[in-house]
Structure 1
Amino acid sequence: MKLFIYDHCPFCVKARMIFGLKNLPVELVVMLNDDEATPTKLIGQKMAPILMKEDGSCMPESLDIVQYVDKSDGEPLLTGKTNPAITDWLRHINGYLNKLLLPRIAAAPFAEFATPEARSYFRNKKEANAGSFEELKQHSEGFIKNVNDDLRKLDKLIVKPNAVNGELSLDDIHLFPVLRSLTLVAGVEYPGRVADYRDNMAKQTQINLLSSVAA
């Protein structure tokens, strides 16, 4: 199977996670951010992730991919209950997270920005919605303070380092991509349980963190 992705994209991380958790082989194909032709040819629109199954058919939507792969061998892993408190926490932090992340993503050495045109495409599209990246950067200190406050609240919700609620569930699929994205931001402070969970999930899913290029 092939998975067409952008490395920075949290939805793509969700789809990648299930392959790592189940230790299943998958060929990752990183598309250039301005490549509209490839996804349009595969599914009729520009979107990621896209799973190309062994029969050549293609499936979009991260959670559909997760469910398909998880159930494909008849031994699903994501059988744990979800916690409404995790959903609430994610809804809250996602309300402001992109304002902190987008300027850093646009400057980071992701493969989807391998050409100047691809990087400019991302920046122009995102600034049209989120506003000037230079202006957003000026508010970084306040956003980072909010993140650090919110991570302290999350710390109390983590049950085990290998599954946020004690048993793998969709909450893990939603939570880890956020924590991975945050490793792109210098100055974020991770309480003990959050750090252990983040590192353990990176190992379990075989997905690298972004600390080495944090800014």
Structure 2
Amino acid sequence: MKLYQYHHCPYCIRADMVANYKNVPHEKVYLLNDDEQSCFDLIGAKVCPILQFDDGTAMKESLDIVAKLDALGDKAKVISALEDGDKFEQLFVKIKPSMRILTYPRTILIGLPEFETQSARDYFEGKKEKMIDMSFEQATMQSAQHIGIVNAVLAQLPELPINADLGMDDILLFPTLRNLSMVKGLNFKPQTLDYMQHIAKLTNSELYLAQAL
């Protein structure tokens, strides 16, 4: 099997977390961000992640892929049911514009495989500038303001459970925290940071703390 993805994509990391945690044999394929054709050839749309099976068929939608990988993977590796995911979503949805303004300009600067070419970086920048309604240069200049907004929500996070098994709450929450880790100046509480590092290890995933800008 092949798992097509972008390293920075929060939906892609959901699938990648489960593939790693459940020990599903697969090949990771990081597409260039401007490679529309590969996605259209596989599923007829420019979306990721995409799970392609050995017979050539493919599927999309991150949570559908998560469910499929869960079914295919190591039965001893349990994924617990959703408990607090909706509560976390309600916290972060209020600051989604600030999170985008902070992370989008940094995403193309931290050495990710989907941005190895200038055309891939330009493609991403053009699309995301429209989403945030400002240039990346303007967004970067506003960092301090939006770091303050995001820090206020990070301070409200409850103590996050550090369990031996992965849960659906982790699959939904970790990608957001992982992407925020690329922003220098965000204040993760020590317990939140412990949780992030635990989930990264449990799922063989990476945080961006070392590359933070």
What is the TM-score when the length of structure 2 is the normalising length? 0.91
| Equivalent residues of 1:14, 1:173 under 8 A apart | yes
User: 1:77 matched to which residue of 2?
Assistant: 78
| Equivalent residues of 2:22, 2:73 under 8 A apart | no
CA RMSD of aligned residues (A): 1.8
Could you list the runs of 5+ residues in structure 2 that have no partner in the other structure?
Answer: none
Tell me how far 1:25 sits from its aligned partner: 2.5
Tell me how far 1:95 sits from its aligned partner: 4.4
Distance 1:78 1:91, change over 3 A: farther
| Equivalent residues of 2:15, 2:49 under 8 A apart | yes
| Equivalent residues of 1:39, 1:46 under 8 A apart | yes
Tell me how far 1:90 sits from its aligned partner: 3.2
Matched residue type, 2:66: V
| Equivalent residues of 1:52, 1:58 under 8 A apart | yes
User: 1:208 matched to which residue of 2?
Assistant: 206
Tell me how far 1:21 sits from its aligned partner: 1.8
Q: Report the 3-state secondary structure (helix = DSSP H, G, I; strand = E; otherwise coil) of the residue aligned with 1:107.
A: coil
- Corresponding position: 1:171 with 2:172: no
2:190 to 184, 189, 192: 192
| Equivalent residues of 1:33, 1:121 under 8 A apart | yes
Q: Report the 3-state secondary structure (helix = DSSP H, G, I; strand = E; otherwise coil) of the residue aligned with 2:108.
A: helix
Q: Deviations over 1:70-101 (max 9, x none)?
A: 12358472233422422322323434311111
| Equivalent residues of 2:24, 2:73 under 8 A apart | no
User: 1:112 matched to which residue of 2?
Assistant: 114
Matched residue type, 1:170: M
User: 1:162 matched to which residue of 2?
Assistant: 163
Q: Deviations over 1:24-52 (max 9, x none)?
A: 23211010111111010000011111001
CA distance in 2, matches of 1:73, 1:29: 19
Could you list the runs of 5+ residues in structure 1 that have no partner in the other structure?
Answer: none
Q: Report the 3-state secondary structure (helix = DSSP H, G, I; strand = E; otherwise coil) of the residue aligned with 2:79.
A: coil
Most deviating of 192-201 and 79-88: 79-88
Identity rate, percent: 39
Matched residue type, 1:133: F
Q: Report the 3-state secondary structure (helix = DSSP H, G, I; strand = E; otherwise coil) of the residue aligned with 1:29.
A: strand
Matched residue type, 2:127: K
Q: Report the 3-state secondary structure (helix = DSSP H, G, I; strand = E; otherwise coil) of the residue aligned with 1:96.
A: helix
CA distance in 1, matches of 2:73, 2:128: 38
Tell me how far 1:176 sits from its aligned partner: 0.4
User: 1:138 matched to which residue of 2?
Assistant: 141
Matched residue type, 2:99: L
Matched residue type, 2:180: L
User: 1:34 matched to which residue of 2?
Assistant: 34
1:122 to 121, 124, 132: 124
Most deviating of 64-73 and 81-90: 81-90
CA distance in 2, matches of 1:194, 1:157: 7
What is the TM-score when the length of structure 1 is the normalising length? 0.90
| Equivalent residues of 1:87, 1:171 under 8 A apart | no
Q: Report the 3-state secondary structure (helix = DSSP H, G, I; strand = E; otherwise coil) of the residue aligned with 1:4.
A: strand
| Equivalent residues of 1:17, 1:205 under 8 A apart | yes
Distance 1:80 1:168, change over 3 A: farther
